[in-house]
Amino acid sequence: MEIHVEGLCKAYGGRPVLTGLSAVFRPGITCVAAPSGTGKTTLLRLLLGLERPDGGIIRGADCRWAAVFQEDRLLENLSAAGNLRFALGEVPGEAGELLARLGLDPSDSRPVRAWSGGMRRRLALARALLAPAEALALDEPFTGLDGENRARCVELIRERGGGRPVLLATHDLTGLEDAPVVRLGEK
Amino acid sequence: MAPKLRPWSVALWLLAWQGGSVALAAAYPHGGLLLASPVQAALRLLELLPSSAFWRAVGNSSLRIFGGFLLSCALALLLASLAAGRPWLRDLLGPPVAVVKAVPVASFIILALVWLDAEALSLFISALMVFPPVYLNVLEGLRQTDPKLLELARVYRIPFRRRVWGVYLPQVLPYFRSAASLALGLCWKAGAAAEVIGLPEGTIGERLYTAKVYYQTPDLFAWTAVILVLSAVFERLFLAAVDGLAGKAGA
C-alpha cells in the first residue's frame, strides 16, 4: 500500500505550518526530516486523521495505524504488560522477545510511572511495533535514547516495518541514511 | 482532609459531656432530661440492641437511605457521562442541580410529603441530596480526562469498553470517591431528618421523634450514635469497594 499527499496545507491561527506538501509514502521507512516546529507532527496528525487539512488531498491513509506520539502516552499506573493489554487487547506472544530486544525486562511489573524516560519511550515504540497496523507513524521515537538503544530501535523498526509504510519524523537521520527523506520547512 | 480523631481528645469531650449532664441534673429538678449523659446513652443503646424492633428500624432506614444513595449515584453517573459530551444537556441540568444544592432540605422534605408516601420519603430525599455532588464531581473528572490518551485510543482503535476501563475510570474514580464520601454523610443526615418529619413506621427517624415527644434524651443520643455508626460503616464499605475498583482500573 502507498499513502499519497498532494498540496497539503495546514495553518494554526493564521501561521502556515504546511504549505502545499506533496509526497508518496511507500512500504518501508520514510523519514520526515525537519527542524523543530516545521510541521513534522502536524503531517503525522493529519495522516492519522486527528486533524483536518486546510487544503490538499490525502489518499491511502484511511487504514489501521499505530503510532508513537510526541509524548509517550502511557497509562502511568499500569505495568508494561498492562499498557500493551490496554492498547492491543492482549499481550502478544512475541511481546516478551521484542521488549527484551529493546532492553526492557518483560517481567517488570512496576507501574511505568516508575520507569525512566528512555524505558518509557522504548515501551511506546514496542506498543506501536506490536500493533496489528497497516501503517506506522513514529514521531521522534528516539527522544531520550542513547546511541546503543537508538540503534536497537532502528533495527527493530526496519525488521518490523517492512511491507507497510513507516513514517518516521526525526531531526536526526543517524542510522537511517538509506531511507527516503521528505524534508519539511525547506524553500 | 478531616482531622484525625485522637482517643485522648474524644475521651476528654466525653468527660466534659458527662460532667455537663451531672451538673445539669444537680442544678435543676429535671435537669437529667435536658442532657442525658454518655453513660445513660450507652446503657440505653445496650438495652435496645437485643430487640427485634431495633434491628427492623436499622434495616428499614438503611435500606431506604442507602438505596437512595445508590440510585442517585447510578443516575448521576449516567447523566454526567451523557452531559460530558453534550453542552446542551449540561446547560439543561444546570438550574435543577443549582436549586437542589441551594434550597434547604426541609423545604424538599415538606414538598415531597405532599407528593409521596412517608415510606418513600427518606429514599427520595437522600437521593436528592446525593445527586448534585456526585454529578458535578463526575462531570469535572470527565472534563479532566486526558485528550492525548483519547487520541491514542482513537488511533489504536481501542474498543469503548476498554477505553472506559483504561482512560475514563482511572480519571473519574478519584472524583467519584471524594463525592461519594461527602454524599454518604449528607444522605444519612437528610434521610434521618426526612424520617423525623415524615414518620414512616419502624424507622430510626420515628424513634428519634418519639424520643423528642417523651423527652427520652438517652434514646435520642443512642439513636444518634446508631446513625453515626451506620453512616461510618456504609462509608467504609462503599469506599473500600470503590478503592478495589480503582486498583483494578489502575487509578
B75-120 confidence digits (pLDDT tens): 999 999 999 989 999 999 999 999 999 999 889 998 998 888 888 8
Alpha-carbon span A24 to A10, nearest angstrom: 18
Alpha-carbon span A37 to A35, nearest angstrom: 6
Closest partner residue to A65 (CB to CB) among B155, B158, B159 is B155
Binary contact (B155, A48; C-beta < 8 A): yes
Which cell is A131 given?
A: 500493533
The amino acid occupying position B184 is L
B64, pLDDT greater than 50: yes
Cα B48–chain centre separation: 24
Between B99 and B248, the higher pLDDT residue: B99
In a domain, A4, yes or no: no
The amino acid occupying position A139 is D
Q: Mean pLDDT throughout B34-54?
A: 91
Whole-number mean pLDDT of chain A? Answer: 90
SS3 per-residue string spanning A122-154: HHHHHHHHHCCCCEEEEECCCCCCCHHHHHHHH
Residue pair B106/B51 in contact (Cβ under 8 Å)? The answer is no
User: Which residue intervals of B199-216 are DSSP H helices?
Assistant: 204-213
Which of the residues B145, B148, B156 would you substitute to probe the A interface, choosing the one with the greatest number of A C-beta atoms within 10 Å?
B156
In a domain, A15, yes or no: no
In a domain, A165, yes or no: yes
In a domain, A150, yes or no: yes
**pLDDT at residue number A176:** 86
Alpha-carbon span B79 to B175, nearest angstrom: 15
Alpha-carbon span B156 to B167, nearest angstrom: 13
Alpha-carbon span B80 to B74, nearest angstrom: 10
CATH of the domain at A85: 3.40.50.300
Pairing between strand A3-12 and A65-68?
unpaired
Residue pair B27/B211 in contact (Cβ under 8 Å)? The answer is no
In a domain, A37, yes or no: yes
B157 at A interface, C-beta within 8 A: yes
ipTM of the complex: 0.92
Of B200, B226, B234, B242, nearest in space to B69 by CA: B234
Binary contact (A50, B148; C-beta < 8 A): no
> A67 contacts in B (CB within 8 Å)?
152, 155-156
* Number of folded domains that form chain A: 1
Alpha-carbon span A125 to A102, nearest angstrom: 9
The residues with which A102 forms a beta bridge, in sequence order, are: none
Binary contact (A78, B250; C-beta < 8 A): yes
Which cell is B223 given?
A: 439513636
The Cα-based distances of B71 to B77, B92, B103, B229 in angstroms read 10, 21, 21, 22
Q: Where are the domains of chain B?
A: 63-249
In a domain, A171, yes or no: yes
Which residues constitute the domain of residue A64?
A: 26-49+60-181
Buried b / exposed e over A123-153, threshold 16 CB at 10 Å, is bbbbbbbbbebbbbbbbbbbbebeeebbebb
The Cα-based distances of A160 to A9, A120, A126, A163 in angstroms read 31, 20, 10, 8
Of A126, A166, A139, nearest in space to A45 by CA: A139
Residue pair A112/A90 in contact (Cβ under 8 Å)? The answer is no
In a domain, A6, yes or no: no
B91 at A interface, C-beta within 8 A: no
Binary contact (A77, B157; C-beta < 8 A): no
Cβ count near B234 (within 10 Å): 18
Give me the CATH topology for the region B63-249: MetI-like fold (1.10.3720)
A54-68 confidence digits (pLDDT tens): 999 999 999 999 999
In a domain, A72, yes or no: yes
> B247 contacts in A (CB within 8 Å)?
none
**pLDDT at residue number B26:** 87
A34, pLDDT greater than 50: yes
A124-164 confidence digits (pLDDT tens): 999 999 999 999 999 999 988 888 889 989 999 999 887 89
Between A36 and A73, the higher pLDDT residue: A73
CA distance A48 to chain B (A): 7
The Cα-based distances of B122 to A94, B73, B194 in angstroms read 57, 16, 5
